[in-house]
Amino acid sequence: MRGLLLVSVSSIFAGTREGAARLVAELDSRGVPVSLLVAPHIDGSWHLAKDPGTMAWLREQQDSGRALILNGFDQAAQGRRAEFANLPPHEAKLRLAGATRQMAQLGFVTGIFAPPRWRMSPGALEVLPEFDFRLAASTNGIHQLDSGRLHQTRNLSYGEGFGSAKWWRRNIIKAAGRSAQRGNTVRLSVSARTLHEDKVMRDFLKAVDSAAGAGARPADYTAFF
């Protein structure tokens, strides 16, 4: 049985949008859908509402059918603790309320949530259905919120707190191929902060090609709706 190949890009803002767009174009040419992880604030200084270029690009992507995933309220630099990793329900609810309200005001509504660095507390998972999310993705796998079902599948990342050193990139390429050969769903993600390095772009595409070549079927996260 063939598993799915799910590819996503995070940390999309003014300084990284060009790299994200290049990767999306490369993957489109391969017939591999890309899910975009978006947040209203990044690093406490960038605001989507004040970046018309990124807003326009994201609207183009959304209008073309690209899957958008809410990636927190204030997606922090990787050196800080992941935003939703340890939040109790009340605090998670406050952040989710702020994030969904601000994104809706800008015209971006999604039924999928993934916390920064994929680290999600039980409290955050508990309150997600109150905001009409249908799906959540974490380090544990993909959560179908209407049924409570968890599809256990590992996420393989470049950046996003997981590093992008040469040895790490090589391991991800190999792991993506092995997992696909076993018929597992392969999740590959990359921080757009790293895509200015040609070697990272090249090796991420190799990981995608490795999984697809081993039989994983390209899809986006809406496949779990």
What the chain holds in terms of domains, given with CATH numbers, is 4-224 (3.20.20.370)
The two three-digit tokens of residue 57, written as one number: 């690009």
Arithmetic mean of pLDDT over the chain:
95
Q: Looking at residue 51, what is its pLDDT?
A: 98
Q: Looking at residue 43, what is its pLDDT?
A: 86
- Parts of the chain with a pLDDT under 70: 1, 76-81
Rounded to whole angstroms, the Cα distance separating 68 from 16 reads 17
Taking residue 69's Cβ as centre, other Cβ atoms within 10 Å add up to: 24
Q: Indicate the DSSP class of residue 194.
A: G
Q: Looking at residue 160, what is its pLDDT?
A: 83
Q: Looking at residue 77, what is its pLDDT?
A: 45
Which residue type sits at 141?
G
Q: Looking at residue 79, what is its pLDDT?
A: 47
Q: Looking at residue 99, what is its pLDDT?
A: 97
E-only strand ranges, 29-176: 35-38, 41-42, 46-47, 68-70, 74-75, 112-113, 135-138, 141-144, 149-151, 155-158
pTM reported for the whole predicted model:
0.95
Q: Indicate the DSSP class of residue 181.
A: H
The two three-digit tokens of residue 111, written as one number: 């039924």
* Cα–Cα–Cα angle for 113, 17, 153, rounded to 5 degrees: 35
* 8 Å CB contact between 137 and 36: no
